[in-house]
Structure 1
Amino acid sequence: MPLTPPDTLPEQSPSHLQWQENGLPCSARWRSERGLMPAQRVLLADDTIPADSAFRAACEGTALLWRGDFQNARHLLQAMARRADQVSPGKRQKMTQPATLLDALNQHRQAQARRARLLGMLLIEVNADYSISLRRAPDTKEALTEAWGAPDLDGAKSVVSLRELLGIRSAHEWQRVGVEIPALGTPPHNRIHPHYGVFSPVRGEYLQLVATAHLPKPPKGQNQLTAFDIGTGTGVLAAVLARRGVGQIVATDTDPRALACARSNIAQLGLEQQVSVVQADLFPAGLASLIVCNPPWLPLRPGSPLERAVYDEEGRMLLGFLQGLCAHLAAKGEAWLILSNLAELLGLRTRDELLAEFERNGLRVVSRIDAKPLHPKASDASDPLHQARAKEVTSLWRLAALPVATA
């Protein structure tokens, strides 16, 4: 049974969650990576609440602020997830088959967003020092410091969804162990350590393309190749280029987490003499003989900051990259654009539109190197986008500036 009936507040602040407990008003800093507003109704709940009751409350928009055993909260979240994934026979009959793959994608994203909202209703209170005062709670101080920064000195508590908290702890483990990247060489000097909120380099096919594509020659009179890595993320592409012997690389990003992540990885790999990581909106100052970019592949609006590595509204990063290339390419230089054809398969962009954008920005295609995806979803027939994923190709487009016409 719940400890306290739901408390409906007149208006929640976007930065704080408010509730009543033991007859007193309470408030804590609200944290949501998805940018969700705190719930208007808050239910204090513990180990005695049935999963059906918890799920029903979440569906009705009531948040569950947990006051029981931490591991029991995890079990409850799993039970709620099972219920969220179930489709009743009546609802299944009403569901229509998506007319297009884009409809399937939109339907899938809506379902995932609804699932995230429901499961995000189970909340955990975090102390000012990032500890958790629940039975059998894990040590979360280091993981939360990595995700949120150093604890505030004002002694204020925070509230976060259990689902997000578990994601932060999982990311902390990824950061600790790292991801082995064969394109960087042999263990133990071939690991990239993704930070929370920075996309992990799990798509090995595009890394292999960058590791094997023919490098352009340095400009006449120079002994080493200079390169830019635009939107570096974890720094993995800059690291691959450095391992290939590229002498000077400037890696750029705008996201503070990505910048910190890239700097940490470059330092850990011992590549600081070759790679500098700078904050810049796309291009740094100067020219480079090689400019590499792996932009988000789908020109759709991201549903949360964590989706920005996959979704790029209206293809703004891709278009900005193409528009700025000629101004930053050294003579006889090349740009390497890593791009999946998934947007084309989903009807979000045509190949002709992409080629026209190259030409519009004074670029020609030197060559294109293709690779089939190796990730598990490519062969998962139950995936709602399987029809597109089965045909997906990741390409490295080698681009160069068109000759300037002379009178």
Structure 2
Amino acid sequence: MPSHFPDGTRNDTAAAASSPPSNDIAASDHPVLHWSEAGEARAARWRSENATPPPKRVVVADDRMTADAAYRLACEGTALLWHGDFQNARQLLQAMARRADRKPRKQAASPTDAFHLHRQAQSQRARTLAMLLLPFDADFRIPLRRAPDVQQACEEAYGPADAPFVASLRELLGLIGAHEWRKKGVEIPALGARIHPHYGVFSPVRGEYVELVAQAPLPAKTLAFDIGTGSGVLAAVLARRGVAHVVATDQDPRALACARDNLERLGLNRQVEVVQADLFPAGRAPLVICNPPWVPARPSSAIEHAVYDPDSRMLRGFLAGLSAHLEPGGEGWLILSDLAEHLGLRPRSELLAAIDAAGLKVLGRIDVRPQHPKAADADDPLHAARAAEVTSLWRLAAR
């Protein structure tokens, strides 16, 4: 093993949804990766969690590949199909990541420029590191020396195994990370229990918004709607607070399965009804809550839909439909960070105008400052905005 490769690797891949494949490698709905090996043309099904097309240029690589050579090829758009030792591949990826992180940052003229430059750098880094590829057998085994057993992690993300394929090592590390999160879970003090996020479902690691829902005065305890439930954490908090019936909605099948699993673990599956819907269920409730994505920007993978909301679609949809789903005297709780305001992506006036246009009024607001590490990380390119960020629970009512 080359001594200049460090032990371990950084797993910063966001896991995201991927559809189960067909058995036909040439099927038009499943991309195919082509390469040459020992003078022969080869092909295999291609998997990518964010629907990235297969690389057009592929070379076979093994333990003799240096980090400098690997990084240069990846930057040029040439993928490396690994045939060496698995642990050496992990170490090579870490060495490539260090080289990517040494690239100098461009100077931003404004917080908005800083955001877009940061996203651009993240995207470029992800594309480069995704160029290190692994072969997988039909049963999700990796035919490399010292390869771990990743069958369960792959099944949780991809569904049942049915054909060999090729995917990036970076994607695999994302699958493994999601599998570990699912096993371990995230401690939620408001529940006195853990929430177990599934692959492709946002993990409730930022606890401040959960605490807002746990502490805000309830307008009623008969019925509540939780719009965009995700892992089911907010629906569970409402149920534990004594709300007799909670209807939790989502349109993502992975989120629906995750919410049902968590609610069953917590013994709340009879109290909380999980429904597939785009925003609202039928009927009205005295309490309707929503924690939409906080940043109006385009997501680059399925998991990012929990963070990025293009054109504030979900936020606007919730506000526009809230009045029609509130019982007389009911409240709508909008849980929203003002990070987008500090980044210059959505001014406060735009939010207030949307509230007013929806025929709503603000009854009050409960604020909390985030406690996550990035808020105190001066080296983060978005530090100024993160340090000023406030997360709020807006109490809304029909006018």
Q: How high is the TM-score relative to the length of structure 1?
A: 0.89
1:249 paired to 2:246 = yes
1:54 paired to 2:61 = no
Uncovered stretches (5+) of structure 2, i.e. residues with no partner: 1-27
- Flag the 1:19–1:96 CA change in 2: closer, same or farther, 3 A: closer
The 8 Å contact of residues 33 and 306 in structure 1, kept in 2 or not, is answered as no
The 8 Å contact of residues 130 and 140 in structure 1, kept in 2 or not, is answered as yes
Match of 1:126 in 2: 136
Match of 2:341 in 1: 344
- Flag the 1:137–1:157 CA change in 2: closer, same or farther, 3 A: same
Q: Which has the larger radius of gyration?
A: 1
How far is the alpha carbon of 1:278 from its aligned partner? 1.2
1:198 paired to 2:198 = no
Match of 1:33 among 35, 49, 63: 49
The 8 Å contact of residues 36 and 59 in structure 2, kept in 1 or not, is answered as no
How far is the alpha carbon of 1:96 from its aligned partner? 4.8
- Per-residue CA shift, 1:227-274, capped at 9, x if unaligned? 111111100000110110111111111111111111110111110111
Q: What code does the residue aligned with 1:85 have?
A: D
Match of 2:258 among 257, 261, 264: 261
The 8 Å contact of residues 14 and 38 in structure 1, kept in 2 or not, is answered as no
1:136 paired to 2:146 = yes
The 8 Å contact of residues 333 and 395 in structure 2, kept in 1 or not, is answered as yes
Q: Which residues of 2 match residues 62-211 of structure 1 at below 5 A?
A: 62-87=78-103, 92=104, 96-152=106-162, 156-185=163-192, 190-211=193-214
- The alignment partner of 2:299 has SS state of coil
Match of 1:405 in 2: none
Match of 1:272 in 2: 269
Match of 1:325 in 2: 322
1:398 paired to 2:391 = no
The 8 Å contact of residues 13 and 38 in structure 1, kept in 2 or not, is answered as no
The 8 Å contact of residues 284 and 327 in structure 2, kept in 1 or not, is answered as yes
- The alignment partner of 2:177 has SS state of helix
1:214 paired to 2:217 = yes
The 8 Å contact of residues 331 and 395 in structure 2, kept in 1 or not, is answered as yes
Quote the Cα distance in structure 2 between the aligned partners of 1:55 and 1:277.
Answer: 46
Quote the Cα distance in structure 1 between the aligned partners of 2:200 and 2:331.
Answer: 30
Q: How high is the TM-score relative to the length of structure 2?
A: 0.91
Quote the Cα distance in structure 1 between the aligned partners of 2:114 and 2:61.
Answer: 37
Quote the Cα distance in structure 2 between the aligned partners of 1:203 and 1:96.
Answer: 29
Q: What code does the residue aligned with 2:35 have?
A: W
Match of 1:306 in 2: 303
Q: What code does the residue aligned with 1:170 have?
A: G
Quote the Cα distance in structure 2 between the aligned partners of 1:240 and 1:158.
Answer: 41
- Per-residue CA shift, 1:333-352, capped at 9, x if unaligned? 11100000111111111112
Quote the Cα distance in structure 1 between the aligned partners of 2:99 and 2:142.
Answer: 27
How far is the alpha carbon of 1:13 from its aligned partner? 8.9
Match of 1:7 in 2: none
- The alignment partner of 1:307 has SS state of helix
Q: What code does the residue aligned with 1:344 have?
A: E
1:290 paired to 2:287 = yes
- Per-residue CA shift, 1:197-243, capped at 9, x if unaligned? 111101111110000000003xxxxxx51011111110000011011
How far is the alpha carbon of 1:79 from its aligned partner? 0.6
Q: What code does the residue aligned with 1:301 have?
A: R
- Per-residue CA shift, 1:132-178, capped at 9, x if unaligned? 111110001000000011112xxx21111101101100110110010
How far is the alpha carbon of 1:359 from its aligned partner? 1.0
Q: What code does the residue aligned with 1:111 have?
A: A
Q: Which has the higher contact order (CA 8 A, sep 6+)?
A: 2
- Per-residue CA shift, 1:95-150, capped at 9, x if unaligned? 65211101001001100100000000000111111111111100010000000111
Match of 2:11 in 1: none
Match of 1:382 in 2: 379
How far is the alpha carbon of 1:23 from its aligned partner? 3.2
Count of aligned pairs: 372
Quote the Cα distance in structure 2 between the aligned partners of 1:13 and 1:124.
Answer: 21
